C-alpha cells in the first residue's frame, strides 16, 4: 500500500461525470481519495453518502473528494443517482488503479476500504487503513483541516 510521504501514483480514468486525472489538481487542491469494495452495498453506500454530505466542508478547504472502486462507469452512474452521491467515482474495472495504490489483495478481488489524504503537491500525507465507516468522513475532514492549517 502507498505510504505516507510517497507521491500518489498517476490516477486517471472515467467517472460518472467524464474523464478525471488527479494530476490536474497538483499545485492547486488537496485530494481525498477513498477506495471501497463495491457500489450499492450498505457500507460503501453509507461511506459515499457521508462524504457527499460533507462535500461543501471539503470544498471550503480546497480539497477534492474522489471515490474509487472496480465498478464500471455505468454502475457508478446508477449508484450516484440512487444514493445522491456527488463526488466523482472513478471506474477501475480491470483493477489497475487499485493495484497501483496497493489496495487490491488479489487480482480478481474487490479493493480494500482505504482513504488517502494527498496534499497539493501530490504527496500522500495520511493513510486510513482498516476503515470503519461510521464517523469516517468526519475523521478525514479533521485530518484535512489539520493538514491545511
- Answer whether residue 2 is part of any domain: no
- Answer whether residue 4 is part of any domain: no
Q: How far is CA 120 from the centre of its chain?
A: 15
Res 149: pLDDT: 81
pTM tops 0.75, yes or no: yes
List 44, 90, 97, 137, catalytic entry: 44
Domain holding 59, by residue range, is: 12-148
Q: Find the CATH number of the domain harbouring 123.
A: 3.40.30.10
- Answer whether residue 72 is part of any domain: yes
Helix 136-148 / helix 42-53 crossing angle, nearest 10 deg: 40
How far apart are alpha carbons 125 and 102 in whole angstroms? 16
Residue that the C-alpha cell 479493493 belongs to: 111
Asked if residue 128 lies in contact with residue 140, where contact means CB atoms within 8 angstroms, the answer is yes
Total structural domains within the chain: 1
- Answer whether residue 124 is part of any domain: yes
Annotated active-site residue 98? The verdict is no
- Answer whether residue 115 is part of any domain: yes
- Answer whether residue 64 is part of any domain: yes
- Answer whether residue 3 is part of any domain: no
- Answer whether residue 71 is part of any domain: yes
pLDDT tens column, 101-111: 999 988 789 99
Q: Chain-wide mean pLDDT for the chain?
A: 97
Amino acid at each position: 500500500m502507498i505510504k505516507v510521504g510517497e507521491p500518489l501514483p498517476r490516477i486517471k480514468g472515467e467517472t460518472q461525470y467524464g474523464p478525471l486525472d488527479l494530476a490536474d489538481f497538483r499545485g492547486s487542491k488537496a485530494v481525498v481519495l477513498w477506495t471501497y469494495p463495491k457500489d450499492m452495498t450498505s457500507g460503501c453506500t453509507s461511506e459515499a453518502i457521508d462524504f457527499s454530505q460533507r462535500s461543501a466542508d471539503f470544498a471550503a478547504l480546497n480539497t477534492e473528494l474522489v471515490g474509487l472502486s472496480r465498478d464500471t462507469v455505468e454502475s457508478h452512474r446508477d449508484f450516484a443517482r440512487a444514493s445522491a452521491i456527488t463526488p466523482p467515482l472513478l471506474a477501475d474495472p480491470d483493477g489497475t488503479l487499485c493495484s497501483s495504490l496497493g489496495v487490491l489483495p488479489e487480482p480478481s478481488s474487490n479493493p480494500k476500504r482505504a482513504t488517502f489524504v494527498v496534499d497539493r503537491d501530490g504527496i500522500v500525507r495520511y493513510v486510513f487503513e482498516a476503515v470503519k465507516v461510521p464517523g469516517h468522513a468526519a475523521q478525514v475532514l479533521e485530518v484535512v483541516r489539520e493538514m491545511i492549517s
